[in-house]
Chains A and B, each alone.
Chain A
Amino acid sequence: MGAWKYILKKFFQAFLTLLFVLAVNFFLFRVLPGDPAKSVARSLKLSLEDTQKLRVEFGLDQPVFPNQFVLYVENTVTGNLGTSYITARPVSEAIATRVWWTLLLVGTSTVLATGLGIIVGIKGAWRRGGTFDVGSLGVSLTLYSMPEGWLGMMLLTFFAVTLHVFPAGQAQSAPPPAGAIPQFVDILNHLFLPCLTLTLGYIGEYSIIMRASLLETINEDFVGTARAKGLLDKNVRRHHAVPNALLPIVTLVVLNFGYILGGAIVVEYVFSYPGLGAFTVEAINANDFPVIQGVFLLTSAAVIFANFIADLLYVYLDPRVREV
């Protein structure tokens, strides 16, 4: 029963946070200076009266509170994230075409970086001070401190131009090849370099934290007890030390999944990968309120949801939580 109460409590917390985010999201962008109707009017070279008509169409002539806000809440709840001021297309459509590429790129990199990072971190911590440990720590720190953009450009120039082995950016060929398998391979080929860049960038983070966490756990009493009982070294590691050391990693990984939707802006930019990252930056520059609001709402919701999942996982992983 304790577990269910805990879950319910966490769910309500998540829900309230989401509502708060909704309100803040709206007012935050209204505080920014700038009138989107005027910048659209300038590019179309509209007359004065037509500019006024635009403002009415955008709903900018109404008071921010309560009219614009109420309209916003109503629309969001029914799944209507509005239409872009710049392209006049529904925001949900613009986000939908891009979010999958971001998920693909950042999701794959995160999975690879997490898996490899954890393995490297465990191996390093278990034989602390050994050649592998010292070597991998050095490499991890170097990779972690490298600017992603620079690393991306280097890989792009080397593999795409010098060796001509991979394409120079983009997510797929234009137009894409016919057939499911060739299309899949085409996407894979285009995904390789940006994914490699991001993975190398993230690996350092996970291996360092896993290593630190495991080192701490090794010094706990229960590990000494396990050894004293005569268990094989690998079993002490696998069944006693690592599961306890994994808890901080779980939090880190799940939180990072939430941030995935923010997109890897720099890497997407370098490789012209059509994800949410660069798109959001353009929208911010153009003061395209509906798009910015939509993306920020999505990212906040993803983080809140990921947090909630982490809380649920803890119920499973850490028995101490259930007793509360």
Chain B
Amino acid sequence: MKARSIRAFGLLVTLAVLSWIPAAGSAQGQTPAPSTDKLIFTVGVTQDMLNISPFGASGLSDRETLSMNYDLLLSFDQKTLAAAPGLAESWTHNENNTVWTFKIRDGVKWSDGVPLTAHDIAFTFNFILKTPPNEYIAYLGKETEPTFTAPDDQTFIWKTKKPTLAPLAPAGVPILPEHIWSKYTGDWKAAEHFRNVPAVGTGPFHLVEWKEGQYWRLEKNPDYWGGTPTIDEVVFRVYDNQEAMVLALKTGEIDFAEGIKASLLPTLDGIANVTTWEAGSTTNANLAFGLWQPSLGSHYKGFGGETPTNNPALLDPTVRIAIAKAIDKQALVDNVLQGSGSVGSTMLSPQDRWFWDPAANGDTTQDYNPQLANQMLDQAGYKDTNGDGIREDPKTGLPLTFTFLVLTTDPYSSDLGEFIKSWLKDIGMAVTLRPVTENKALDLWYAHDYDGYIWGWSGRPDPDFMLSIFTTDQCDNWSDGCYSNPEYDKLYLEQRAAMTEEERAPIVDQMQKIVYDQVPEVFLIYENDLQAYRNDRFTGFLPSPEPNGPLIYSDGPWSYINIKPLATAGGAQAPTTSKSSGLSPVVWIVIVVLILAIIGAVMLVKSRLSDEDVA
């Protein structure tokens, strides 16, 4: 009798407390106490920062933080990405474009209180010249032999021996504080290893905390010359996979999700408090052809680069043009990107203000037309002489069989390859796809041991870099396939020496046209940058460039400066609450006590029972 009543009592207690837990738990989930009254904007990302020293390995997240923490000499215009006042409020140049004089803003302070002067700017540019290797040298136009001086606190002078438009690109060089960085001059390794947290800068936010693999945090600069941000802090949270990040957006743990894959967008449709944003980006996917010839020489002796293994048929532009005509780029956008992107054409993206649009200019060289492709190949003598469905090269008798590398580390490479392979079969070419890791691909690339590969590029606001990859000089460095065209090389130098942007534009157009017509590479698709945000929290996101550039992870911190919380019934508190969930401490204690009580009761009951048990 005793045992039964003990068990009954235990059961009653259990039921009573259990019924309380869901109530306590769900209440906890809806009204947690915010630990501070700060306005915090939380962004979910899938890429952690790698190294926040400007001289370290710079991934997308590093660049975003640098653009919030530091200012540029001349900023990007939010709408067009042309040069706009930055730390320099105005500038002049001489007739020859060899002396550029900048008037530097007064009253700007570093986040540690030290005033900013033109000396910091001169220091930064000289530091970059003296401390290779680094990616900023490309902005300075080394061949123009620049010198950088600051005759007084408010004047900065960029002088060159040859004419240059480099300052107007604008030069994307983060301006660094001399009093912090001067000790690293000439020592790239030390500059790269400098942790830079907290980061001293003049930008609208400064980096105060970084927990690798988890999150990093920036606080606002209340005295920012470009306007005080409304929000107090920006927190970037790192997610290993996008599904969890999207879930966190739905539960409200993050306010913004950056870099979502196309297949997840439909899961966000129809959710009232989430808005998706498909931003045009400069990221493209391309099929590059191996065009190396022994006459070009090789920088990497011993890698086997002296004996080309690329199919010589690809050196004939007719073959390449035919391949481009056989590829249905729209179908690639629809099937591989699920419609989230646009058809590729030149090496610059439609977002770019320097973009030359073949369609608008009546150039149909790469329009999808497999019948025309077949015709061209027939007329040029590429016939299938032995009936195996594959055309042969009349010059060498070799069949048009190609090996294209597809990158296993790239999300779209192998899908794109499969489509291309089947289309090229229809015009009499046999393609073998070879999956390789990025590192293996680089090895094969240096050895010129491929016919083509499917990879991609991400551009910069100034077109110079993307134009340079088709110059002869860049063979074995940035050239995808060692394309060599003396006329193109000449134009490249001309656009670098142009005296005004108006003079430069037609040259840049012409260069794009040459690449579009000669097809050293087929630019297949431009990818969109997919973003999503809670529309019941903040408002005032600014796309850059307009009209459909990304809202954040663009070329400047405009959105972060501009966003404000939406007024809600609960007041401005809304954006900071409900970001954390979980059971409160009280509930946990109750659960633990309960478990112990149950265990204790069970053991008590058992020992009493077995006492009565006779062996």
Contacts and interface: CB of A to CB of B under 8 A. Distances in A.
29 contacts: A33-B437, A34-B443, A35-B442, A38-B442, A39-B438, A39-B439, A42-B442, A45-B135, A45-B465, A87-B50, A88-B51, A161-B251, A164-B29, A164-B30, A165-B29, A165-B582, A167-B253, A167-B580, A169-B247, A171-B214, A174-B214, A175-B209, A181-B585, A182-B35, A186-B580, A188-B588, A189-B580, A270-B244, A271-B244
Interface in A149-205: 153, 156-157, 160-161, 163-175, 177-178, 181-182, 185-186, 188-190, 192
B25 interface: yes
Contacts of A270: 240-241, 243-244
Interface in A15-47: 33-36, 38-40, 42-47
Given A46-B133, A164-B29, A173-B579, A157 B59 contact: no
A158 B268 CA distance: 17
| Interface-centre pick from A33, A35, A97, A270 (highest chain B CB count, 10 A) | A33
Interface of A, secondary structure class, is: helix
B335 interface: no
A4 to B, nearest CB: 40
B235 A174 contact: yes
A189 B235 contact: no
A50 B247 contact: no
Interface of B: 25-26, 29-30, 35, 42, 50-51, 53, 56-59, 132-135, 137-138, 188-189, 192-193, 195, 209, 211-215, 217, 235, 237-241, 243-245, 247-248, 250-251, 253, 299, 409, 437-440, 442-443, 446, 465, 476-478, 579-585, 588, 610, 613, 615
Interface stretch (A66-74, A135-143, A226-234): A226-234
Interface in A41-79: 42-51, 53-54, 57
Contacts, number: 189
B248 A168 contact: yes
A98 B442 CA distance: 31
A33 B35 CA distance: 50
A272 B239 contact: yes
Interface of A: 33-36, 38-40, 42-51, 53-54, 57, 83, 86-89, 94, 97-98, 153, 156-157, 160-161, 163-175, 177-178, 181-182, 185-186, 188-190, 192, 230-234, 268-272, 274, 278-279, 285, 287
Contacts of B26: 163-165
Given A160-B581, A185-B588, 19 more contacts: A33-B439, A33-B443, A44-B133, A45-B465, A86-B57, A88-B193, A153-B243, A157-B247, A163-B29, A166-B581, A171-B214, A173-B579, A174-B214, A231-B615, A232-B610, A270-B241, A270-B244, A274-B214, A285-B437
B588 A47 contact: no
Contacts of B442: 34-35, 38-39, 42
Nearest to B440: A33
Contacts of A285: 409, 437
Nearest to B208: A175
Contacts of A153: 243
A246 to B, nearest CB: 21
A159 to B, nearest CB: 9
Contact of B57 (A40, A49, A51): A40
A179 B59 CA distance: 34
A87 B585 contact: no
Contacts of B581: 160, 164-167, 189
Contact of A87 (B51, B409, B440, B613): B51
